[in-house]
Every structure is written in structure tokens, then in C-alpha cells.
Amino acid sequence: MPEPSSPSVARVPVEERLFSLVLALVATETGLTKNEILSTVQGYRQRYRPGGDNASLERQFERDKDDIRDLGIPMETVESPGEQGNNQLLRYRISKGDYDLPADITFSAQEITLLGLAATVWRQGSLSAESQRALLKLRSLGIPSDDPVIGYAPRLRTRESSFEPLRTALERHATVTFTYLKPGDAAPRVRSVSPLALVQHRGRWHLYGIDNDLGARRTFLLARIVGTPRSTSRTFALPEGGGFADRALAELDALWHSQRATVRVVPGSDAETRLSKRPGSSSDLGGVLTLHYTDVDILADELASFGPEVEALSPGDLRAAVIKRLTMLVNAHISADAEADDATRPEKEEA
């Protein structure tokens, strides 16, 4: 019988592999051998076979070396003392002195965060060689250990499939239609919207526009759009005043500041660690946190994911929403266990 196939290995994006390789080589003064790189660096180690055939992985490393040098990053090789000519013991490194910015150019922690954010946003579009070089160099900069901002650098993502169709319609001033599932509705409903702005607030993308059925401006969460929005042939004139993105963000900020929730967390738990770091959060000595939020259903999803580590206290609709989610989870487990018991129970013999 044929041998069972090995489990598939999750693919690591090439930019993540190159980034990990650059950081590893910058971080070492003596350099790393090829075997050390292949067995330890993210993007290689997942496919490395100790004592096995790693020929394809070595060819990938050779291509990556060329890509890094094409980006203008000074990778060099160093022969091991007493082992001149032994290619297997060659050590690779990136001299930090050659790769550092000039001494008279410095960035604050906040400036590095903003530069990293800008480079990440640019990477979502057409990534030129210049932007690749900038991103890799920025991310290799050191931050003092008492202010590790790089570890918490924000990222803008446009994973919702509706983003690009909406952006195109926004540029053309074209009315769009899409199916939108509002929490509490039994089924999604088709909306006709004249888009005015796409904004990101607290890590989530929103569409701000005129709901043509209601004749009023509304904000729609992209994550609740079902399917792909469709542009119509009908265009519209922008309302007077402009500043639609600023207006949308101001309304979302006002909503976020006005809505507060109180939750009780288990001391030392993951829930306490994560929730206490939310912007604007505060706590008392009894383990009760006060949180700001924009959408009660999104917050309920987050709180329910912590299970018994957190209890929603107020407002009442938040507490009810969390209880509903946990009850559904319990019922789903009960149903799954019942189905498993039925599957393993022997059938009764016919008389």
C-alpha cells in the first residue's frame, strides 16, 4: 500500500520569509550557516527535513539571497576560521553598520510606528522595489527595550472582498447595491447607497454614504456586507461641504466615546491582559473594567471568545448578547456530542 502523504505545510508569504531572513542576519554578529538558516528561520524551518533531502529548500535560499541583494541589502559571506573553502560552513550575515541609517538621522518611537504603517499600507497595493527596500530597512531598526512600539505597530488590512468594488464606485461617484446583514435581522437586505467615503475606525473598515431608500446618510460595516457590491450605471453629484471621511470618523468617534461597558475579568487571565490594553479602558480594584465600544455585537463576539474569563455586567443588551452567544455554543456542543453517541451506538439486531 502507498505510504500516507505527509500533512501539508502552511505556505509562508515570500515577503514574510525575506523579512525574517533579514532580521535573523542583522541580529547575529558572527553570521549563520546555511543549515542554521534553513532549520530556524521562519519560512524555511517549516519545510526543513533534518538529515533529509533539502535540495529544493537550498535552491530557494539561493534565490532569496539574490532578491535581498537586489533590494540593496548588503549580505556578505564569512568563512569559518580554519575551514577556508568549505562552502557548507560559510556564514551569512548583514553588517548592521553598513545597513544603519546615517548617525544624524533618528526617529522617535511614534515616527517609526507611522513609517511602518505607511509602508504596510503601500504594500497592499503595487509594491515597488523602492517600497520593499524601505519596509525592510524600517523594520530592522532597533527600538529601546523600554518602549517596544514596533511590536504593536498597527496594520491596515483590506481583507473584505467588498473593499475594492466600493473604492471603484467611490472614485466614479456611482451608486452601488449590496446585500447587508444587520444584527438581529432574520435575513440580509439589499441596500442602494451613494458612497461618500471609506474609512477605517478602530481596526475595521466602514462605508459612509447616502442610503437611497431612506434618503439619509448612514455608516455600514464592510464585514457585514454579504457577497460582492455591484456598481450601477447611475451616478450622483457629491453633496456640498466635502470632508466626508472626517465627518464619518467624527461620528464613529463620538459613538465610541459615548458608549461604555463594564465587565468583570479573572485576575491574571488572557481576558484581563487583552481587554485592559484597549484604548480608553479603565479598571478598579475589584477586577471590573470599563470599556468603550462602537458596536455592541462586535464587542459581544469578542467577550464571548474569552469564555469563563470574562463576565459582561452592563449595559443589559451587551450582557444578553454575550449570554446568547455562549448558550448557542453550549447547545452546539450538546448536539455534536449527541450525534457522536448516535454514530457509535450499535444498531439493534432485527428480531
Tens digits of pLDDT across the chain (351 residues):
343 434 455 567 777 788 888 888 877 777 888 888 888 888 888 888 888 888 888 888 888 888 887 777 778 888 766 666 666 678 888 876 666 666 666 666 667 667 666 655 544 443 444 444 444 544 554 433 333 333 333 444 445 789 889 988 998 999 999 999 988 777 899 999 999 999 988 888 999 999 999 999 999 999 999 999 999 999 999 998 888 999 999 999 999 999 999 999 998 888 888 898 888 888 887 789 999 999 999 999 999 999 999 999 999 999 999 999 999 888 888 877 677 666 666 655 544
Residue type, 66: D
Neighbours of 337 (CB within 10 A): 10
- Measured CA to CA, the distance from residue 91 to residue 265 in angstroms comes to 49
- What is the CATH architecture assignment of 163-256? Roll (2.30)
Contact assessment for residue 205 and residue 217, using Cβ atoms and an 8 Å cutoff:
no
Instruction: Give the E-state strand segments of the chain in sequence order.
Output: 32-33, 75-78, 91-94, 174-180, 189-201, 204-211, 216-221, 225-235, 260-265, 282-283, 288-292, 310-314
Sequence ranges of the domains in the chain? 14-99, 109-152, 163-256, 259-337
Which residue in the block uniquely carries the three cell numbers 451587551? 318
Beta bridge mates, 201: 204
Neighbours of 246 (CB within 10 A): 11
Among 34, 29, 30, 32, smallest CA distance to 44 is for 34
Q: Does domain 14-99 have CATH number 1.10.10?
A: yes
Asked whether 309 and 266 are in contact (CB, 8 A), the reply is yes
What pLDDT shows up at residue 208?
A: 96
Nearest CA to 207 out of 195, 216, 217 is that of: 195
Q: Across the strands, what pairs with 198?
A: 207
Q: Are 44 and 38 contacting, i.e. CB atoms less than 8 angstroms apart?
A: yes
Contacts of 181 by beta carbon, 8 Å cutoff, 6+ apart: 187, 188, 189, 224, 226
What pLDDT was estimated at residue 152? 35
Pick from 227, 113, 239, 234: nearest CA to 175: 234
Q: For residue 334, give Cα distances in angstroms to 25, 120, 323, 328, 331.
A: 51, 44, 16, 10, 5
Is the separation of the CB atoms in 164 and 130 below 8 Å?
no
User: So what CATH class is 259-337?
Assistant: alpha beta
